[in-house]
Every structure is written in structure tokens, then in C-alpha cells.
Amino acid sequence: METLAILGATGSIGQSTLSVVRQHPERFSVFALSANHNVRVMLKDCLEFAPRYAVMVDEHAAQQLKAELKHHNSATCVLSGSHALCDVAKEPEVTSVMAAIVGAAGLLSTLAAVQAGKRVLLANKEALVMSGELFIDAVHQYGAELLPIDSEHNAIFQCLPHELQQNPGRGSLSAAGVSKILLTGSGGPFRYTPISDLQAVTPAQAIDHPNWSMGPKISVDSATMMNKGLEYIEARWLFNAAPEQLQVLVHPQSVIHSMVQYSDGSVLAQLGQPDMMTPIAHALAYPARIASGVAPLDFCTLGDLSFMAPDMARYPCLQLAMDACASGQGATTALNAANEITVAAFLAGQLNFMGIAEVNDAVMQTLGAHSVNSIDEIIALDNQARTCASALIRTY
């Protein structure tokens, strides 16, 4: 029996995780659920899964949830504050932690799970983008197991030999005969929109992803392809990949979720429906295979699969992320933080779509050369980049 802590339970990944868990009550039990402030969804899930703990980061929401649970005679204990996220992730009874908080807000609890030597199911890519080397060092130091949830990285993981799967961030791709990782992305909802029209696209258009259903932040990141940029950095750390071993490909149908090219010319790919329940079920049960609830692919109705190189004029955020990856941890931290602020401003109607890349770029020019050597320095730089981005947006 695996005992789970699901951080970010009320989000898109959290809810897909519970959908898989619901199908296998003999295999998984839910020890803790966490959310920022969504009482309605948290209450429903606490009543269904009866976790020992429910963490609401927001104090007011925690009080509301406590009253509701009492009314329903629930035995679930409600905790509040962000430190409680780390506490439940470290609980001795927990075997696996689903790290599915969005953004830098997930960094410390994801690291707490690593430092407690858990099986960490990593959806929170921003944590790895910020803390890359320190994160991988901690995985090895504390004997944590790292399983990627991001569909591309989960696909790559499945296409890699066993010895690399067992050695996150430290194995040698070339010694294993891998010549290249091919990271695929759909290109988002604007891949055919004239570039001159991008200035005027709305948040509703940006979050209307053609293939995937996801939270608002990652949906905007998919439209700018910053998501692919963050994933490029994520792949660099997860698979110990050099720049020449990573290639981004636009694949509009999202049927192939990424590929690994070997030195003998073989290419291994993982295919499936664009539904996160597949990588979640893979990581939850690894190395076993369990039903996810996702329909099988029907190759007779699939249609054509196409591929193209990304156009960097259309996707300047992708280039920024690749450049940041080459510069180092300070640059990736500053870019990630700036992007959280610019995406939030875009969603709030305070910044136009192309402004996301422009402000991200300006923050990188100011702070991208900083070096960071500890989690405290990473958090300080993250804060500085947020302040810098907010100030730029006000004068924009």
C-alpha cells in the first residue's frame, strides 16, 4: 500500500491524481491533501478520501474548512500555513509525495519531500528550474526516488534504459548510447496566429489550449512556449543533458509526448492520449503498470502526425529560457520568477501577451547574471526578480 501526500490537490494535476487513486483503493491511501484556498473542492475530497490531514495555506480558508468538516463529523485534521506543507510531506507514514503546487510556492515542500527520502512525483517543474543542481544533489544525498510527472519528461523517462531511470540527473546519456532527447510541444493555441496579431490576444484565448486541459499559469506558458523553455531546463537537470543533447520540436497533435534518439539511429517514443492521468498512473505504480482510466489510442482514426522546428520570433520566451539554462541557476531562477509575475499580470489584464516576453527579457538583463549557491540565495533572487518585474509592469 502506498501512502500519499498530494500537494496542490485542488489543481488540475491534483484532481487527475485523485482520479487515478480512486480507481485503485487497494493500492493507494491518501494521508494528506493540500490547497491554497479552495474550500469547496477540498471539502468534497476530504469527505471522499478521509485523509489524516488537510492543509489549507490560507488561514481564513482553513477555519472555514475546519467548520465544514466538523459539521460532517469528519476526523480529518486541518492545518494551515505554508510550513504545514513541509510538515505533511515529511511525515514518516507518507511513502509518496505528489508535488503539484504551481510555481515557486512549491519549492520548499517539494524539497522537504526530497530531504525526507520520499518517492517524489514531480509535477512542480518550477522547483527544479529554480534549484536544479541543489535539488539533484539532495535527491542523491537523502536517497529520494524521483519520478517525472510532466508528460514529456515522463515519456523520456520511459524511453531511457533502466540504469538511467535509477540515477536521476547523474547518469551519462552518451555512455548509454543516447544521442539526443527530442522534447515535443504542441506550439499552443497561437501557433498559426499571425505574429502581428499576438499583441491583442486575450487571456481567455491564451488559456484555451487545443489539446490539454491544465491550470491557468501553465496554459499561458504553453501559449508563449515558456512552458517548453521551463521543460528544457527541467530536462537538463532530470537527465543530465548537455545543450547539444536537447532539441525542442513542435508537434501540433500532442500524440507523441517526447522521444529519445540513440546512436544506432533508433528513436524510441512514448505515445498516448493527451491526458495527464497516464503519466500520473505510470509514476504512482512504477515499475508496475496500472489502469489510468485513459482511453487507448486508436491508430486508425489518429490522422497525420507532423513536426516542425519552433519559430523563435513567435516564441521569444522559449529562447529566453534556453539562454537562461546556458547562463546558470541565477538566470533560470530570475526568469522563472519574472514569468510568474508577468503571466499573473497578463491574466489580470495588466500586460499584453507580447509584454510577457519583453518584461521577462528586461528582468533577465538586470538580474540574469547573478549566481546563487543556496536555497536562501535562490529565494532572495526570486523575490528580487518579482519586485523588478512588478516595477517594470507598472511603467509599461
Question: Could you give the CA distance from residue 271 to residue 268 in angstroms, rounded to a whole number?
Answer: 10
Interface with ligand NAD, residue 124, by CB under 6 A:
yes
Residues whose CB is less than 8 angstroms from the CB of residue 131 and which lie 6 or more positions away in sequence, other chains included: 107, 111, 329, 375, 378
The response to whether 103 counts as a known ligand-binding position is no
CB closer to Mg ion out of 45 and 150 = 150
The response to whether 233 counts as a known ligand-binding position is no
C-alpha cell of residue 381: 533572487
C-alpha cell of residue 221: 506558458
- Compute CA distances 381 → 102, 112, 322, whole Å: 18, 20, 19
CB 1 within 8 A of CB 21: no
Binding characters for ligand NAD, 48-87, by CB under 6 A (x = yes): ---------x------------------------x-----
User: From the CB of 336, what's the least distance to ligand NAD, in Å?
Assistant: 10
CB closer to Mg ion out of 305 and 380 = 305
Among 39, 206, 214, 256, binds ligand NAD (CB under 6 A): 214
Stretch that binds Mg ion, among 63-71, 151-159, 277-285, 342-350 (CB under 5 A): 151-159
Please choose which of ligand NAD, Mg ion, none residue 116 contacts, taking the beta carbon within 5 to 8 angstroms, the exact cut-off set by kind. Answer: none
- Compute CA distances 376 → 230, 280, 349, 379, 380, whole Å: 21, 31, 32, 5, 6
Stretch that binds Mg ion, among 63-71, 145-153, 243-251, 289-297 (CB under 5 A): 145-153
User: From the CB of 334, what's the least distance to ligand NAD, in Å?
Assistant: 18
Binding characters for Mg ion, 100-139, by CB under 5 A (x = yes): ----------------------------------------
Binding characters for ligand NAD, 265-294, by CB under 6 A (x = yes): -----------x------------------
- Other beta carbons within 10 angstroms of residue 143's beta carbon come to 9
The response to whether 227 counts as a known ligand-binding position is yes
Could you give the angle at which helices 329-347 and 216-224 cross, rounded to 10 degrees? 110
Please choose which of ligand NAD, Mg ion, none residue 368 contacts, taking the beta carbon within 5 to 8 angstroms, the exact cut-off set by kind. Answer: none
Stretch that binds ligand NAD, among 8-16, 235-243, 244-252, 295-303 (CB under 6 A): 8-16
Interface with ligand NAD, residue 125, by CB under 6 A:
yes
Half-sphere exposure of 391 (CA within 13 A, CB side): 9
Interface with ligand NAD, residue 94, by CB under 6 A:
no
Output Rg (C-alpha) for the chain, integer angstroms.
Answer: 20
Interface with ligand NAD, residue 10, by CB under 6 A:
yes
Among 14, 229, 316, 330, binds ligand NAD (CB under 6 A): 14
CB closer to ligand NAD out of 13 and 20 = 13
CB closer to ligand NAD out of 126 and 361 = 126
Largest interatomic CA distance in the chain = 64
Interface with Mg ion, residue 150, by CB under 5 A:
yes
The response to whether 215 counts as a known ligand-binding position is yes
Stretch that binds ligand NAD, among 45-53, 94-102, 110-118, 301-309 (CB under 6 A): 94-102
The residue ranges that bind ligand NAD (CB under 6 A) are 8-14, 35-36, 38, 57, 82, 100-102, 105, 123-126, 150, 212, 214-215, 217-218, 276
- State the binding site for NADPH: 10-13, 38, 124, 126, 215
The residue ranges that bind Mg ion (CB under 5 A) are 150-152
